[in-house]
Structure 1
Amino acid sequence: MAFRLKLVPADTKIDFFRWQFLTFGLSTLLAVASVVCLLVMGLNFGIDFRGGTTIRTESVQPVDVGAYRQALQPLNLGDVAITEVFDPTFGPEQNVAQVRISAQDGAEAVTPETVAAVEAALQEVDPSITFPSVESVGPKVSGELIQTAVYAVIASLAAISIYIWLRFEWQFAVGALVSLVHDVLITMGVFSLFQIKFDLTTIAALLTILGYSINDTVVVFDRLRENLMKYKKTPLRDLMNLSVNETLSRTVMTSGTTLVALIALLVLGGDVIRGFVFAITFGIVIGTYSSVYVAKNVVLWLGVKRDWSKPDPKAAGTQFTDPEAQ
């Protein structure tokens, strides 16, 4: 007899709408607070968005990121990122690293004197170190990166909403869009509140959150559509509760196993990836919450087509939801 791990009983009957006004009100409050926090405190932009200088180092000795960072601490350079560069074409005595220094407030770039001080400090740690290249990112390029990042998030939201609209109905698309905007806003609000470094890797984490959150939402929506065809007289609220309960085991198992790996990375992964991992970890928690308590509440308030077994030529995307067409 095979052993099956069950974190959630097979037949749960949780009333997820019992506190719907409290949960949705809390989500609204957190979203508004996040907007206020972003307007008042702003984001702690990293080098990618603030501009700065990247110094490429090369040495015959192995790269010691900890020693490099300790040598640069007395210089009070602010945001400094040190990463080792791996390439299969490098020889055994070719150890390469990148030192990225953020521009100071009020300055457009890192001064040559600062670059010289950094090079001197690193040469004290490793006399054999050389500096093949020094590249600067100006405020204009940083501004373009911010603009492109915003466009990427907006385009992702739009594409996901269109997919949900075609796959289900416009009410589902609105619910999914509200849920995704909720996830992004609150995640960015947390970054603003605690002034966690916000860079291109955080944008990648936000896009990952969008994909993860909509995946869970689609699972619930798909089960709801099946139940709408099966129970044509059951109230919509009861069908939504039933759908979430039927997919609850899958939601808990997927989110739980993902969080186990992410928490390990968050604790043991080091400072370089901590912001990225924190964004995904928090995003998965808030995304799971929004799939259960935000998206379906919006759909309930908007109302949906009840008899999905009959095509509705007036409804957008019906050709994709007709069981005979799939």
Structure 2
Amino acid sequence: MSRFSRLGNDLYTGRRSIDFVGRRRLWYSISGLILVLSLLGLQVRGLDMGIEFVGGSEYKVSLPADQVTQQTADDVRAAVAGTGIPNAAAPVVTTSGNEAVLVQTQPLTPQETTEVIDAILATTGATNDDISTSEIGPSWGKQVAQRSLIGLSVFLVLVVLLIWGYFREWKMSVAAIVALAHDVLITIGIYAWTGFEVTPATVTGLLTILGFSLYDTVVVFDKVRENTKNLRRSHQTYAEAANLAVNQTLVRSINTSIVALIPVGAILYVSVVQLGSGALKDLALALFVGMAAGAYSSIFIATPLLAQLKSRESEIKLSDKRARTRQRHDADRYASVPVFTEDMPIAEEPGAAPAAQAAPVAPVAPGRPQPTLGSGRVAPPPRSEVRQSPSSGRAQPTRQSRAKRGKK
């Protein structure tokens, strides 16, 4: 645990960094492959819609309280599936309080209904008076689906407006919506490949995972906004600041996802292995897949997509160019010093004051005295050897005030 804490601290401070934004093509490829498999599952296998959506038959068997148990439900499920009827191959058997057992199948013919009733009565020991049959039409399921689509549309519109109003950035709204669509499509694809029945509980689970995915994405975006508030001072490009934000929230996202997935996974295991079927299984699968996909999309999809959209802005391009120039200068301060070559022009020492240029000297005829440089006069030739002057021992004038002259 201490190593994990140190890793989280290193990721937050930037001493360690995982390049999520720079490798966005890899993450896009992985997500694209998963989405293709999900769409392929919808095309090949399709969704197994529950009787609430397509209609079906429901059988209610009244039994004593001591017989209304999960064992009885499992026995009834096996007996109905053993009849060999295609529409009754995967019945939904649940207990209704302490009074009855409910059996739901797809629409059956009268002869098939008789076979199913006989299998139920033989298994439970009940009589014809203890069982009731009812037909469920698809109208209620259609109303649920229609209202769910309306709720989903309103939710997406409110999400776009909320993120745009909070972050003042419509590109964040686009990235968040893409991440939500990514999570929903993956969850639907998993349902198609696993053959789990789609019930109103499944719709509830889908709506729930939208909120979870959005919550995780907004947390990462808030850190991105904090890191990119003043790019001049941080000397980072927008992509680098966004990648740092993902690393800083990575441990938090992992911890939150694990804490949420453990109880949902336990519910999924119990509902599939022990209970066998029911609304609890449908809800748990949607939550488990959606939460895992939401944690993935907020890190690998939403933030890299946001950085890609922002990189097309002219202001961000200029800021990134300044940051790269600054980084090259900080990495090697002498990288801009030119390399010496023989044909380079002679210049002054870098940093030295420019020297005064001497006036050009005119050519002098042979035998004439040479002029002194910079004086503009001609120095006369010496007549004799230079000796020490007799006045060298005299007192030389000094720069003193008149009151102090001649005083010792």
Tell me the TM-score normalized by structure 1: 0.79
Q: C-alpha deviations, 1:17-73, integer Å up to 9, x for none?
A: 232111113223432443344234321222222210222232114312112212222
How far the C-alpha of 1:275 sits from its partner, in A, is 3.8
**Cα separation, 2, equivalents of 1:141 and 1:275:** 18
Q: How does 1:220-299 map to 2 (within 5 A)?
A: 220-229=220-229, 231-233=231-233, 234-270=236-272, 271-272=276-277, 273-299=280-306
- Bigger shift: residues 29-38 or 77-86: 29-38
How far the C-alpha of 1:195 sits from its partner, in A, is 2.9
Name the CA shift for 1:131/1:42 in 2 (closer, same or farther; >3 Å): same
Q: SS at the partner of 1:54? A: strand
**Cα separation, 2, equivalents of 1:131 and 1:137:** 20
1:25 to 24, 29, 52: 29
**Cα separation, 2, equivalents of 1:7 and 1:52:** 57
Is the CA contact 1:71–1:125 (under 8 Å) kept in the aligned structure 2?
Answer: yes
Is the CA contact 1:55–1:131 (under 8 Å) kept in the aligned structure 2?
Answer: no
Aligned match of 2:328: none
Instruction: State whether structure 2 residue 92 is matched by structure 1 residue 81.
Output: yes
Aligned match of 1:213: 213
**Cα separation, 1, equivalents of 2:270 and 2:5:** 28
Q: How does 1:36-75 map to 2 (within 5 A)?
A: 36-60=40-64, 61-63=66-68, 64-75=72-83
Instruction: State whether structure 2 residue 189 is matched by structure 1 residue 189.
Output: yes
Aligned match of 1:123: 121
The one-letter code matched in structure 2 to 1:219 is: V
Q: Runs of 4 or more off by more than 6 Å in structure 1?
A: 304-307
Unaligned 5+ residue runs, structure 2?
12-16, 317-408
**Cα separation, 2, equivalents of 1:250 and 1:171:** 24
Relative contact order, CA 8 A, sep 6+: which one is greater? 1
How far the C-alpha of 1:206 sits from its partner, in A, is 1.3
Name the CA shift for 1:6/1:100 in 2 (closer, same or farther; >3 Å): farther
**Cα separation, 1, equivalents of 2:35 and 2:112:** 41
**Cα separation, 2, equivalents of 1:268 and 1:221:** 36
How far the C-alpha of 1:145 sits from its partner, in A, is 4.0
The one-letter code matched in structure 1 to 2:188 is: M
* Larger gyration radius, structure 1 or structure 2: 2
The share of aligned pairs that are identical, in percent, is: 30
How far the C-alpha of 1:5 sits from its partner, in A, is 7.9
How far the C-alpha of 1:197 sits from its partner, in A, is 2.2
**Cα separation, 2, equivalents of 1:195 and 1:269:** 15
Aligned match of 1:157: 156
How far the C-alpha of 1:295 sits from its partner, in A, is 0.8
Is the CA contact 2:267–2:284 (under 8 Å) kept in the aligned structure 1?
Answer: yes
Q: How does 1:86-97 map to 2 (within 5 A)?
A: 86=97, 94-97=98-101
How far the C-alpha of 1:230 sits from its partner, in A, is 5.1
Tell me the TM-score normalized by structure 2: 0.64
- Bigger shift: residues 212-221 or 223-232: 223-232
Q: How does 1:173-184 map to 2 (within 5 A)?
A: 173-184=173-184
How far the C-alpha of 1:190 sits from its partner, in A, is 2.3
- Bigger shift: residues 175-184 or 122-131: 122-131
How far the C-alpha of 1:8 sits from its partner, in A, is 4.8
How far the C-alpha of 1:213 sits from its partner, in A, is 0.7
**Cα separation, 1, equivalents of 2:43 and 2:161:** 29
Give aligned pairs, total: 292
The one-letter code matched in structure 2 to 1:240 is: A
